[in-house]
């Protein structure tokens, strides 16, 4: 959770030690998270975080 820069940096830090990673699985609906908030989270992740890895 956080701003796109922080989320991308955190993801990059977690994936980097694994070497050449081609895919990451994203679970966008934590237990108890309402569906509308999960959709919003996934949309924001897709729009603002994923492009940083392109």
Q: pLDDT tens, 7-25?
A: 999 999 998 999 888 888 8
- CA separation, residue 21 to residues 8, 13, 37, 40 (Å): 15, 12, 28, 26
DSSP symbol at 51: G
Check residue 13 and give its pLDDT: 94
Check residue 33 and give its pLDDT: 86
Number of H helices, E strands in the chain: 2, 0
- Residue 35 near residue 29 (C-beta atoms within 8 A): yes
């Amino acid at each position: 959770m956080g701003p796109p820069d922080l989320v991308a940096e955190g993801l990059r830090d977690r994936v980097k030690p694994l070497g050449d990673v081609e895919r990451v699985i994203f679970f966008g609906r934590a237990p108890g998270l309402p569906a509308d908030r999960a959709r919003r989270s996934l949309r924001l992740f897709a729009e603002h975080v994923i492009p940083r890895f392109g």
